[in-house]
Structure 1
């Protein structure tokens, strides 16, 4: 009897860990500086999922000498699909009614989400996880659920094959460990420093090691065999020190790391996952103090609803946050969004997740409405209204994913990349800047090159008016690392009579080495670095590197757009990054003044 109780022991501390993980992710999506590594909450979820699922499967195998795969798959579908389906239907319906401009993005995302292939869909569609400038998909967070569902389908089959053919769990453990190592090495091999890391971030192949680490833990620390009996005091001390240390490391990683650091993808996530495994192991043991600490009731409440909170927080943030507030903190709006997320997650948990998980789909649909009996009158109205509401939601969902209600595009879309080249002649011969101080005060460059991202595309018209001989090379979403190859096409600009304008850093971090390599390609020209005005967590680090480069090189000048732009929100579109015509004009003037100053003409 005691053994049976051990086998079915529920660990409340793991709910507390789920709560911390979802809070980290929530805070990361808000852009709080103390949660720059909050995306690692997903790594905790992956390790925990691998551990719990493998513990369940190993328990089945020990008891029955086989895996009960049909019941396992059925339980996973009951647990995951209903809440996700409910969320996707509601988001599509909301989008049809209030934000039809997102339908073109949402159609494929919704279908991929319900088929649990979102991560690969986003990879093949070249959708960045980290770029929120181009109308982010409100269900982009389904990528991680796709990885988990793919794992739930494939892993039991592989485990069964391994247990059948080897018979020795140590051999299976060794194979799993090798698989985890291969996945982690693949992440490091596919990662390109300075490039958007979304490919390795989304990939099932490059994230499997986190799940497999949890699987390994289940072999050496099976949940159903853990007991507080006969644990020596030394063992308890080591257990608790390990737990407290790993928890402290989780908080440090969450506050100090960021998603663009090369070290994250070259061993960093592996170490984070190993630390998460230590934390899961200590919490799972009945003798653990840390497990009792994380059993705090409010944490347990969040933890039991963490699936619904994770599902709903991202669409609520993206659909209800004005674009002017992305990267800013309106705490009234944030509070309302948190309350809405928790409220809807509670509704989902009580009336969808738990009933279907316990009773199944048939019983749920057969019993839910009949058992809800506030009054006879209300019941009769409900029986009449419920089918109508269902049909309306179904129609909105169908119309949304099929694109029938998608608004026709009447405006031309901004090109993703542009190359503009005009007939070259010295700037001093023709300069149409409206507010130059005098015709004598003009920088005398024979040619000008500008390389940038989508902000550079906003600058194209005023730059051409001011510098008729300019060559503009701009591309939406361009990282500084991509500009290294672009710059090789403009070797002719590396001469003293040339000016090179570089506007990069809007879309993420870059390394000092990459910036130095770019500047070396124009070592003979005058280079003007435009710092970033981007309400994202990488803004400060990017601007510090640009400022440092300008101080260290005589031919490099800083154009301080950040300071000017910070005081003039009217220069920007709603995202606070891209430029309105007035902003483009003002930045062009700032560049012009920097050129006047550097050429010492007065």
Structure 2
């Protein structure tokens, strides 16, 4: 049987390739989510973009971890966690602080549980807090929280924390790819069954909708695909029939996803007893077709618009709810001009996401945090080399102070 571990751990593997079509998949997913949140009755299944995100994350992270193992015979856990935090935390912290500050200053009706909300998001436990304290994801126009959508980021955060440890344990103990693949398939099936069993009706969705255990099948499918379909082991030169098959699979996958986006409502029983599971399977087949260098679907999903949206999809997803909630609380005629207001909200989301990507996410992703202590020491010196540049820190410190004040005075509701 083929083993996961390379017998030549010192051998340099072929360079990992950037699969541009994945930006296209992310773009389709985040557009579905945004349109659903803005016009829920026009695209009633747009929330299904989240399982697609999960599949892509599951595949990419597992694929990269396996490449590192094959090349080095080990996984640099500290390096992995450091890269994830530098990639995800800056924008998340900025969103939490900015939203908390706005609520404290202008929308104190939303202050309830702010301290718990910020804390659980920082710890990537917010989805479980939502199970017991949050409102239904589908409870539209009833005092919606600008943080509700962050449940999915907590599930991804838990995956990033735990999965590398589980993967290395399976590699060392089980070793054989085929056995690991069967275990992951069983875990995905159990998770999907658990969602169906725990579903009790549209009035009690929180447990099945937010739970890590009932949602993990999407991420597990992505990880399973990376085990059996590693990107660096796929050959570009394939037969015309194989290329045609991959392209058809990709096109059919997009078609099924589109139908589900338009037809599968969040209150539908089938959504939790097969629907989301099917969406995860279809997303997996799309990722598989897109990952193969011999297929054309990757090229078809590659264009400047998809690339822009895909590379900023994290920020777009992150900032969408605060923009929507705060905008709609200030505008009185939302229902009179739904399309116009939706377009305005989209523009606001895109502008904020671009600014965040350019001035927060990219710079802090490449910042050497080992220099942080030295930078702080230099920053507070009377004759600091930073000079008047230090004045730029005053607004940031002000935002943090206001957010902390809001958290301190926020009422708690069980």
TM > 0.5 fold call: yes
Aligned to 1:212: 220
Q: In the TM superposition, what whole-angstrom CA distance separates every residue of 1:188-221 from its partner, at most 9, and x where no partner exists?
A: 0000134332210100010011100001100111
Aligned to 2:345: 337
Q: Could you tell me whether the CA contact under 8 Å between 1:25 and 1:40 is conserved in 2?
A: yes
1:268 correspondence with 2:244: no
2:265 counterpart (258, 265, 268): 258
Aligned to 1:589: none
Displacement of 1:83 after TM fit?
Answer: 0.7
After superposition, the Cα gap between the structure-2 partners of 1:342 and 1:4, relative to the gap in structure 1 and judged at 3 Å, is: farther
Residues in 1 aligned to 2:315 and 2:338: alpha-carbon distance in whole angstroms: 24
Aligned to 1:433: none
Question: SS of the residue aligned with 2:364?
Answer: helix
Aligned to 2:6: none
Question: SS of the residue aligned with 2:235?
Answer: coil
The answer to which of 3-12 and 338-347 deviates more is 3-12
Residues in 1 aligned to 2:76 and 2:345: alpha-carbon distance in whole angstroms: 41
Aligned to 2:247: 240
1:119 counterpart (127, 135, 148): 127
Question: What TM-score do you get using the length of structure 1 for normalisation?
Answer: 0.62
Question: SS of the residue aligned with 1:339?
Answer: helix
Residues in 1 aligned to 2:24 and 2:151: alpha-carbon distance in whole angstroms: 23
Displacement of 1:136 after TM fit?
Answer: 1.2
Question: SS of the residue aligned with 1:35?
Answer: coil
Aligned to 1:395: 401
Aligned to 1:164: 172
Structure in which a larger fraction of residues adopt strand:
1
1:72 correspondence with 2:80: yes
Displacement of 1:399 after TM fit?
Answer: 0.4
The answer to which of 349-358 and 246-255 deviates more is 349-358
Question: SS of the residue aligned with 2:75?
Answer: coil
After superposition, the Cα gap between the structure-2 partners of 1:325 and 1:118, relative to the gap in structure 1 and judged at 3 Å, is: farther
Residues in 1 aligned to 2:181 and 2:407: alpha-carbon distance in whole angstroms: 43
1:18 counterpart (21, 26, 37): 26
> 5+ unaligned residues in a row in structure 1: which ranges?
371-378, 414-602
Q: Could you tell me whether the CA contact under 8 Å between 2:316 and 2:350 is conserved in 1?
A: yes
Greater length-normalized contact order (CA 8 Å, ≥ 6 residues apart): 2
After superposition, the Cα gap between the structure-2 partners of 1:170 and 1:119, relative to the gap in structure 1 and judged at 3 Å, is: same
After superposition, the Cα gap between the structure-2 partners of 1:365 and 1:133, relative to the gap in structure 1 and judged at 3 Å, is: farther
Question: SS of the residue aligned with 1:321?
Answer: helix
Displacement of 1:225 after TM fit?
Answer: 2.0
Aligned to 2:5: none
Q: Could you tell me whether the CA contact under 8 Å between 1:107 and 1:402 is conserved in 2?
A: yes
Q: In the TM superposition, what whole-angstrom CA distance separates every residue of 1:545-590 from its partner, at most 9, and x where no partner exists?
A: xxxxxxxxxxxxxxxxxxxxxxxxxxxxxxxxxxxxxxxxxxxxxx
Q: In the TM superposition, what whole-angstrom CA distance separates every residue of 1:353-397 from its partner, at most 9, and x where no partner exists?
A: 112222343568989xx9xxxxxxxx86543x2232122112111
Number of matched residues? 394
Aligned to 1:149: 157
Residues in 2 aligned to 1:15 and 1:4: alpha-carbon distance in whole angstroms: 27
Q: Could you tell me whether the CA contact under 8 Å between 1:176 and 1:212 is conserved in 2?
A: yes
Q: Could you tell me whether the CA contact under 8 Å between 1:78 and 1:356 is conserved in 2?
A: yes
Displacement of 1:27 after TM fit?
Answer: 0.6
Residues in 2 aligned to 1:163 and 1:328: alpha-carbon distance in whole angstroms: 58
Aligned to 2:321: 314
Q: In the TM superposition, what whole-angstrom CA distance separates every residue of 1:20-77 from its partner, at most 9, and x where no partner exists?
A: 1000000111134331100000010001100001101111111122222111111111
After superposition, the Cα gap between the structure-2 partners of 1:327 and 1:271, relative to the gap in structure 1 and judged at 3 Å, is: farther
Q: Could you tell me whether the CA contact under 8 Å between 1:106 and 1:401 is conserved in 2?
A: yes
Aligned to 1:39: 47
Q: Could you tell me whether the CA contact under 8 Å between 2:249 and 2:289 is conserved in 1?
A: yes
1:296 correspondence with 2:306: no
Q: Could you tell me whether the CA contact under 8 Å between 1:34 and 1:255 is conserved in 2?
A: yes
1:197 counterpart (201, 205, 213): 205
Displacement of 1:288 after TM fit?
Answer: 2.2
Q: Could you tell me whether the CA contact under 8 Å between 1:356 and 1:364 is conserved in 2?
A: no
Residues in 2 aligned to 1:365 and 1:244: alpha-carbon distance in whole angstroms: 51
Question: SS of the residue aligned with 1:192?
Answer: coil
Aligned to 1:565: none
Q: Could you tell me whether the CA contact under 8 Å between 1:111 and 1:401 is conserved in 2?
A: no
Question: SS of the residue aligned with 1:33?
Answer: coil
Question: SS of the residue aligned with 1:213?
Answer: helix
Aligned to 1:348: 356
1:177 counterpart (181, 185, 197): 185
Residues in 1 aligned to 2:180 and 2:355: alpha-carbon distance in whole angstroms: 41
Question: SS of the residue aligned with 2:145?
Answer: coil
Residues in 1 aligned to 2:326 and 2:281: alpha-carbon distance in whole angstroms: 35
Question: What TM-score do you get using the length of structure 2 for normalisation?
Answer: 0.89
